[in-house]
Amino acid sequence: MPVIEVTNLHKEYGRVTAVDDVSFSVEPGEIFGILGPNGAGKTTTVECISGLRAADGGSVRVLGLDPVADRDELHQTVGVQLQEAGLPDKLQVREVMRLFASFYRDPADIDVLLRRLGLAGKAQARYKKLSGGQKQRLAIALALVGNPRVVILDELTTGLDPHARRETWGLVEQVRDQGVTVLLVTHFMEEAERLCDRLALIDRGRVVAVDTPAGLAERTGGGQRMRFRPSAPVSDAELLALPEVETVTRHGAQIELAGTSQLVQAVTSLLARSQIIAEGLRVEQTSLDDAFVSLTSHMETAKEN
């Protein structure tokens, strides 16, 4: 049974349709990502899942519970990462943890959790003295303090430097490895690619695709691009005669090719047969970035499909 099941979710703010028609389900033990451009409806969707907002249409079930009708029960089993605002500056880290732990029937051991999140040395520090990365780690600790079965993390690493971001990713993987299902809202392709087992790509309040990061990247063709300087002349006609080559562009001595997933293999064999060396060779795969741009900028086409 899915841990989270969202079916035809619809939510309006006055005349703005924030979530038009969103459906997806999250399986136990997954890190499931929600990815999409600004204003796509990601936050509204997770707010409906965590019971912070009531939907105008459709249904949401989390561990079989209705997030609005069963709100108290839901809060015992679902941890939500709060945005950094809202915590009193003067409270110490351990005091904040104690306060949050008091809301739960079966809270985690605070010291163990602080140690796991690398905050043991900051237990006496006031909230306002924490760095951005430490505040984010505290936000994760607070989401975990009730020993939840599901944790919802929204814009987890926004504002963090690359080092702190990677550290936080490691923490999220540890959380998943302990059997907690993770729902993650993100703007960062690298984060989605590294962390998520599956992703829902949302645009203008609708799900454009649900797939693994690699599956999404493949939808844009799964192609390859390569750039090199041939050690001896090679003609466009010779290159275009290969079925794997789609386009040839020249930048001075450099040749840029785009084509199928077999492009590099086909071109390097052709060059090898003529004893030509591909100098300064650079190869790129189609990425999740490409999928994001192509799937979200062709929304009208996606809607018709």
Ligand X SMILES: Nc1ncnc2c1ncn2[C@@H]1O[C@H](COP(=O)(O)OP(=O)(O)OP(=O)(O)O)[C@@H](O)[C@H]1O
Task: By CB under 6 A, name the binding residues for ligand X.
Answer: 13, 16, 18, 36, 38-44
Instruction: Kindly tell me which of 93 and 295 has the beta carbon lying closer to ligand X.
Output: 295
Give yes or no for a contact between 200 and 207, defined as CB atoms under 8 angstroms apart.
yes
Instruction: Kindly tell me which of 39 and 243 has the beta carbon lying closer to ligand X.
Output: 39
Torsion of CA 217, 223, 228, 230, to 10 degrees: 170
The two three-digit tokens of residue 273, written as one number: 């047969």
User: Least separation, in Å, of the C-beta of 69 and ligand X?
Assistant: 22
- Count CA atoms within 13 Å of residue 245 on its CB side: 22
- Amino acid at position 100, single letter: F
Rounded Cα–Cα distance for residues 116 and 132 (Å): 18
User: Least separation, in Å, of the C-beta of 87 and ligand X?
Assistant: 20
Instruction: Kindly tell me which of 40 and 114 has the beta carbon lying closer to ligand X.
Output: 40
Rounded alpha-carbon distances, angstroms, from residue 187 to 38, 143, 229, 288, 289 = 8, 20, 36, 12, 11
User: Least separation, in Å, of the C-beta of 140 and ligand X?
Assistant: 19
Instruction: Kindly tell me which of 35 and 216 has the beta carbon lying closer to ligand X.
Output: 35
User: Least separation, in Å, of the C-beta of 158 and ligand X?
Assistant: 9
Q: Please enumerate in sequence order all residues whose Cβ is within 8 A of that of 164, keeping only pairs 6 or more positions apart, or say none.
A: 131, 132, 133, 136, 157
User: Least separation, in Å, of the C-beta of 40 and ligand X?
Assistant: 4
Rounded Cα–Cα distance for residues 42 and 46 (Å): 6
User: Least separation, in Å, of the C-beta of 38 and ligand X?
Assistant: 3
Instruction: Kindly tell me which of 159 and 243 has the beta carbon lying closer to ligand X.
Output: 159
Instruction: Kindly tell me which of 41 and 223 has the beta carbon lying closer to ligand X.
Output: 41
